[in-house]
Amino acid sequence: MAAAAGAMLWNLQPLLDVLHRTGQHLAGLGELQWRSASGDWQAIAPADDARLTWSAETAFLRPEWTQIAPGLETAEIGLARPPHPQTVPLFIVRLHPERWHLRTVGYPDWAEHSLPEFAEKWKFTLAVNASFFSSEGPIGLVIQDGVVRHRQASRKASHFLIDTPGGRIRIMNQKMTEIAGVNSGFQGFPAMMTHGRLYSYVASGGRGFDVFTVDRRTAACTDRDDRLLLMVTDTLTNGLSFAELGTIMGGLGCTDGMAFDGGSSTALELRVPGHERHIAGLKPVQVVLGIEPI
């Protein structure tokens, strides 16, 4: 009897997977609302949701920032799609790169470890998951302490580059951008926006690219003051679509943005006394972006 029931569930698994993916896709088509920690829910207007070009004047998200260390601030906003009852918390870290050293790191054999293990080994104040990866290693560029450890890829990839400790952070979408002299860096997917303009495929799809399915997300963008914003959804299920993520980047006043590996890889470890935050990943990772004081 048990064996028969197990076989039936096994046969139904493909259908269940399709239903799950369909549900995740439909979730990303709903109206998005947001609120800060102490504010009321506010709808994101359709004009904002569909916007391609953003500027300081059109940014509408005003989180309540808390400075937790010199040049390091955090905020959290809630996101929801009524009538769905679940709130998606988005944790945001904003840092001034001249106060912090950003490093891309991986173990010598690309061994997979949890984010807390990475943070402990390298004594990072903050760490997030970075590159996509497979059983054969990272997917795309990885530069660690000035050494190119993995080659560049090109397909819709974006570069996260730090030339020198304390230097300006560059998020670039060029397929094979110049990497000579870069101290740390890696590639993510997809490129979201450049010079305040959201890529059209991020806003509306196309090219066989699904932008409406929701998932756990890790992402980054830079604003007009050259500050870095790191964004991580604090959810086990649900999350954000790429289209929603692009709207949020523009709404925060970002100019250049990209997504990191997401889904089960999404994780964050913040270790500042009195302001610790742990967003657990669902699997170990190979490459991490971490920060440490200069």
Dihedral angle, C-alpha 7, 9, 10, 14, nearest 10 °: 150
Instruction: Specify the amino acid at residue 232.
Output: V
Residue 125 lies in a domain: yes
Structural domain includes residue 59: yes
Distance of CA 287 to the CA centre of its chain: 14
pTM equals 0.89
pLDDT at 157: 80
CA dist 88 and 129 (Å) reads 19
CA 82 centroid distance within chain: 24
Q: Do the Cβ atoms of 177 and 140 come closer than 8 Å? A: no
Output the CA angle 158-131-74, nearest 5 degrees: 85
User: Is 9 inside a domain boundary?
Assistant: no
| pLDDT at residue 103 in the model | 97
Strands (E), 145-275: 147-150, 158-162, 169-172, 184-188, 191-194, 197-198, 218-223, 228-233, 254-259, 268-270
Q: What is the pLDDT of residue 18?
A: 39
- pLDDT number for residue 27: 45
Which residues constitute the domain of residue 48?
A: 31-293
Structural domain includes residue 23: no
| Assigned domain for 22 exists | no
Residue 6: predicted pLDDT:
53
Low-confidence ranges of the chain (pLDDT < 50): 9, 13, 16-28
What percentage of residues in the chain have a pLDDT greater than 90?
Answer: 76
Asked if the structure places residue 261 within a domain, the reply is yes
Measure the CA–CA gap between 152 and 95, rounded to whole angstroms. 27
CB atoms within 10 A of CB 4: 8
Tally of domains in the chain? 1
pLDDT at 14: 53
Integer Cα distance of 285 and 118 in angstroms: 9
pLDDT at residue 177, rounded to an integer = 84
Asked if residue 18 belongs to a domain, the reply is no
Give domain status of residue 7, yes or no.
Answer: no
